[in-house]
Amino acid sequence: MPGGGPDPPAAPGLHTLLRHAQPRVRGTLSASVRPAFTQEMNVSITYLKKADKTPETETATAQQVVNTMLAEIQKHGEAAVRQYAADLDHWTGELIVTPEEIAANERKIPAQVKADIDFAIEQVFSFAQAQRRSLSEFQVELHKGVTAGQRVLPVNVAGCYAPAGRYAHIASAYMGVATAKAAGVKTIVACSGPFRGGPMHPYLLYAFNRAGADIIMTLGGVQAIASMAYGLFTGKPADVIVGPGNKFVAEAKRTLFGKVGIDVFAGPSEIGIIADETADPAIVASDLVGQAEHGHESPAWLFTTSRALAEEVMQRVPRLIEALPPTARDAAGAAWRDYGEVILCSSREEVVEVSDRYASEHLEVHAADLDWWLQHLTCYGSLFLGEETTVAYGDKASGPNHVLPTKGAARYSGGLSVHKFLKTFTWQKMTREAARDIGLATARISRLEGMEAHARTADDRLAKYFPGERFELGEPVKV
């Protein structure tokens, strides 16, 4: 639920909506609702394990809950946010963390924890800086006397969210903030909710601060997203809001998109693994379980050309899940049961076609000829080539951002990068002589389109700059 607390009595009908929004983890499963997209492809795949649900299964009620909450916050502002914080997260303390609290918190963090977080922040910041350098400003003469150019400027305010639910999402804190910092964002507002009924998790607070957040708020869920979008408590409405969260957070970002920019339309974390007969089934099974522990609705997919490998992986996964601690075992067990799939393909070309349609958030390749896969795969949030790397490395410390598209959005969008915090502007200027050629084309094309006022802006300049000259300006618009 939003914020991770109990159902609130605040808004009319919200208690009922939230009660019915909880994911089903027991009972009879519904019939398969995965779109039959394989009918559109020239493939002959075999489902050795097929999901009974898709990430879209649980979204309808989330939309109702979010719409109700956003309406309340728009109407009542900060008072509604404080009420939601109290009702959902049992948090009645100050929402903005003070510099004194940040300093006191840092003194309590063990040295090794600081070193590990600092190392990961440096990795993420360095990669984001390299991304920033890949996008440059330029100017070019397009026609004699016509100069056009590009400027690249950061947004003024970024909102960075990190969840505070089942786990302490330390990495999510620096993934957003360090990347915004590398982009040059002037003001970074960071939000995460209370951790298990107390203040923000101390390591997450440390990560926010060390990565460069300017304002840190103990606030989670839909109320945090709305507060950053509207500039509540800070007076600084966000231009862009980024960061992962549960289905309510994702829906709040989607609903507010347009008023603010967002990173991606996100859903539950996903993993796809491509494996052939050269893969180690023990490692493949471990990596599937490693991502399934994210939550009850996290899909884990195996695309393979080897039936023997697939069958061994399916034997290993339940045993690995059973060996997990209770919280992770509950999440991974439900995710694998309801959303796990194993798909047998007849060729690596067929694997590519199927994988690209799934467009996995995270995609690992455990197969021979890694360069071939790199060249042929086109739809994924982030690609992990070879056994030596794994999604967990990308989630925590290797450098590329872990906020990535889900629910097939990798077919048209990448994940969070420094570019999400940058605006690419164009500019142009020209000499009066250049305005002759551009003006003539503009006047005639405008009249072909029926836009007489447009045409006359060109006419007026031609008449002013070249008095006495006659030009063929097209037939004036009469309608």
Inform me whether the pLDDT recorded for 165 exceeds 90: no
Q: How confident is the model at residue 385 (pLDDT cuts 50, 70, 90)?
A: very high
Query: Which of these is catalytic: 169, 362, 366, 402?
Result: 362
Specify the pLDDT at position 52.
79
What is the pTM assigned to this prediction?
Answer: 0.85
Least reliable range by pLDDT among 32-46, 73-87, 139-153, 464-478:
32-46
Give the active site residue among 72, 251, 293, 361: 361
Does 20 qualify as catalytic in the annotation? no
Q: What is the mean pLDDT of residues 138-155?
A: 96
Range 179-203 average pLDDT: 95
pLDDT surpasses 60 at 15: no
The mean per-residue pLDDT over the stretch 430-449 comes to: 96
Give the 3-state DSSP-derived string for the chain, with helices as H, strands as E and coil as C: CHHHCCCCCCCCCHHHHHHHCCCCCCCCCCCCCCCCHHHHCCCCCEEEECCCCCCCCCHHHHHHHHHHHHHHHHHHCHHHHHHHHHHHHCCCCCCECCHHHHHHHHHHCCHHHHHHHHHHHHHHHHHHHHHHHHCCCEEEEEECCEEEEEEEEECCEEEEECCCCCCCCHHHHHHHHHHHHHHCCCEEEEEECCCCCCCCCHHHHHHHHHHCCCEEEECCHHHHHHHHHHCCCCCCCCCEEECCCCHHHHHHHHHHECCEEECCCCCCCCEEEEECCCCCHHHHHHHHHHHHCCCCCCCEEEEECCHHHHHHHHHHHHHHHHCCCHHHHHHHHHHHHHHCEEEECCCHHHHHHHHHHHCCCEEEEECCCHHHHHHHCCCCCEEEECCCCCHHHHHHCCCCCCCCCCCCHHHCCCCCCHHHHEEEEEEEEECHHHHHHHHHHHHHHHHHHCCHHHHHHHHHHHHHHCCCCCCCCCCCCCC
28-42, 241-255, 373-387: segment of lowest average pLDDT: 28-42
